[in-house]
Amino acid sequence: NTIKNIISLDCGNSSYRVVLGKYDGNKITTEVIAQESNGMNKVQDYYYWDLHKIFDFFIKSLKEVLKKVDKIDSIGVCTWGVDFALYDKDRNMLSNPLSYRNTIGEKSLNNLSQDEKDKMFYDTGILCDKINSVFMLSGIKEKMPDIFEKADKLLMIPDILNYMLTGVMINEPSELSTTQLFSSITKDISLEVCNKFGIPKELFNKIGVHGDTIGNLLPSIRDELGIDYDIPVILVPSHDTASAVVAIPSMEDNFAFISSGTWSLIGAELDEPVVAKEVLESNLTNELGAFNKITILKNSAGMFIIQRIKKEYDEITKRDNSWEEINNIADMYKGEVPLININNIRFFNPEHMGNEIHNYLVETNQYNGELNWSVVIKAVQESMACCYAHTIDSLEKVIGKEFKEIFIVGGGSKNNVVNELTAKRTGKIIIACSKESTSLGNIVVQIKHFEKEISLKDMRDIVKKSIDLEEYQVEIEDNSIVDRYSKLV
């Protein structure tokens, strides 16, 4: 049997899924085996993630996979960035992982001067951002000193799942780069940043290499699955953005992308980080991608805002409105385009997103009257496209290249309205790729376990043969709206 059955566990902020990829030596066919919604649980003062529930879901899904195939050949895990758990020296998790939407790290970021923030960027290539793990960790140090003192090891979310599966503690580099405790320049833990925040370097484990085997599935899990052979768990680029970028079907080295999910990561792939003033000024950051590539990108709010609005609107209308219905509501508005800075902190985690946007539009004289969902949804769709156009423009200036096309990957690539608006506001050809790009990237990297010589280019060639693309192209007539947006940021 030459077909390899490769499993991806892809956990996003709003949902997680198990995807079975069948690789026949030429291309991959994928099937989503199971999917569940994800969300933070608020308990008293803090928002937490439930990793044990995700683990349980994964094991159940593997059982489903085994009803469909004779053998599972390998497994890879990827998740969202920045969040982590601390373990004591006996390898017990000290607390459920906190979500980056907590404000516990805010103080240590706000206490930094501009010079200190700049220095951290020059040390790591990473922009200081409120969600970076370093700030959460220093918040834990201050507000939960007992936990901090007992901490012996730190595992990022995908590392936790890999540990639960194999019993091996390892830190994966792309995910580690979202902490800002790791330098994309030296590709190692940044002693400068660790020392500055009093974080022991010893918290970190061995840093893994993409394509290597972390370990085999634990015997207890094998027993539960009723199998008697080893399944290797492979170290894939476990930051979801890094895996999604692997699955960009570009045959050229230079390409621009938008990885669209709860967040929108707008960027390009480079060989080396750009550590310069212009990067800082454009709010770009140099994350680590697959196989030591750099993804220079802006971490922008993405579908989160519109997902929240849909949830609120569903509650009011007491029904599950389809996305088409949500888009139709926006279409009803024919007045001047309302704009919001989607990355304004007030839209990060408000009690009520619809009201927050409405209030903002009223305060900025873009609207007056009662809350109108057409206006609110329109504002979000248009502002997202303007943010993309504005960011791609700064990216081109920073790296001195112009892009003809932009690849959109991830769940958000299926939002036709935003895709069309993006084509209109950027003037570029928009190529919508797979909804399951993160899993495709995860799966295609696992092929390295079976074909040691495979290159990143070969992987992209396999992806290209495995998916259908959809193109959007619109002539720009008047783009003053992007200028109007640029003034908001």
Tell me the one-letter amino acid at 86.
L
Other CB atoms within a 10 A radius of the CB of residue 52 amount to 12
Tell me the one-letter amino acid at 162.
N
SS3 147: helix
The residue among 5 and 307 lying less far from ligand LRH, judged by its C-beta, is: 307
From 258-266, 308-316, 365-373, 418-426, give the range in contact with ligand LRH by CB under 6 A. Answer: 258-266
The DSSP secondary-structure symbol of 82 reads: S
SS3 154: strand
Q: Which of 7, 51, 98, 265 binds ligand LRH (CB under 6 A)?
A: 265
Q: For the chain, how many residues are written?
A: 489
C-alpha to C-alpha distance for 19 and 49, rounded to whole angstroms: 21
From 179-187, 246-254, 259-267, 450-458, give the range in contact with ligand LRH by CB under 6 A. Answer: 259-267
Task: Mark residues 267-306: x for contact with ligand LRH by CB under 6 A, - for none.
Answer: --------------------------------x-------
Residues 66 and 72 sit within 8 Å (Cβ to Cβ): yes
- Phi/psi for 257 (5° steps) reads -140, 160
Interactions with ligand LRH, residue window 454-473 (CB under 6 A): none
Tell me the one-letter amino acid at 106.
E
The residue among 100 and 163 lying less far from ligand LRH, judged by its C-beta, is: 100
The residue among 171 and 299 lying less far from ligand LRH, judged by its C-beta, is: 299
C-alpha to C-alpha distance for 239 and 288, rounded to whole angstroms: 9
Task: Mark residues 142-181: x for contact with ligand LRH by CB under 6 A, - for none.
Answer: ------------------------------------x---
240 is known as an active-site residue = yes
Q: What is the number of the residue whose Cβ is closest to ligand LRH?
A: 81
Q: Measured from the CB of residue 385, what is the shortest distance to ligand LRH in angstroms?
A: 19
The residue among 120 and 482 lying less far from ligand LRH, judged by its C-beta, is: 120
The residue among 240 and 382 lying less far from ligand LRH, judged by its C-beta, is: 240
Interactions with ligand LRH, residue window 66-85 (CB under 6 A): 80-82
Interactions with ligand LRH, residue window 176-205 (CB under 6 A): 178
SS3 214: strand
Query: Pick the catalytic residue: 24, 223, 240, 253?
Result: 240
Q: Which two tokens stand for residue 37?
A: 């919604």
The residue among 13 and 184 lying less far from ligand LRH, judged by its C-beta, is: 13
Q: Which of 7, 75, 77, 131 binds ligand LRH (CB under 6 A)?
A: 131
SS3 19: strand
Residues 77 and 236 sit within 8 Å (Cβ to Cβ): yes
307 binds ligand LRH (CB under 6 A): no
100 binds ligand LRH (CB under 6 A): yes
CA nearest neighbour of 222 among 106, 75, 24, 378: 75
388 binds ligand LRH (CB under 6 A): no
Q: Measured from the CB of residue 48, what is the shortest distance to ligand LRH in angstroms?
A: 15
The residue among 241 and 341 lying less far from ligand LRH, judged by its C-beta, is: 241
437 binds ligand LRH (CB under 6 A): no
Q: Which of 263, 367, 388, 472 binds ligand LRH (CB under 6 A)?
A: 263
The DSSP secondary-structure symbol of 414 reads: G
The residue among 13 and 391 lying less far from ligand LRH, judged by its C-beta, is: 13
Q: Which two tokens stand for residue 136?
A: 């959460």
CA nearest neighbour of 293 among 330, 352, 259, 243: 243
10 binds ligand LRH (CB under 6 A): no
Give me Rg for the CA atoms of the chain. Answer: 22
Other CB atoms within a 10 A radius of the CB of residue 372 amount to 18
In sequence order, the 6+-apart residues with CB closer than 8 A to the CB of 416 are 327
261 binds ligand LRH (CB under 6 A): yes
241 binds ligand LRH (CB under 6 A): yes
Q: Measured from the CB of residue 117, what is the shortest distance to ligand LRH in angstroms?
A: 18
- Number of residues located near ligand LRH, criterion CB under 6 A: 16
Q: Which of 12, 273, 412, 441 binds ligand LRH (CB under 6 A)?
A: 12
- Cα–chain center distance at 222: 30
The residue among 97 and 338 lying less far from ligand LRH, judged by its C-beta, is: 97
Q: What is the DSSP string of 227-296?
A: --S--EEE----BHHHHHHHT---SSS--EEEEESSEEEEEEEESS---SHHHHHTT-EEEE-GGG-EEE
Q: Measured from the CB of residue 100, what is the shortest distance to ligand LRH in angstroms?
A: 5
Residue located via tokens 């892809």: 10
Residues 376 and 329 sit within 8 Å (Cβ to Cβ): no
Q: Active-site residue numbers?
A: 240
Contacts with ligand LRH by CB under 6 A lie at 12-13, 80-82, 100, 131, 178, 239-241, 261-263, 265, 299
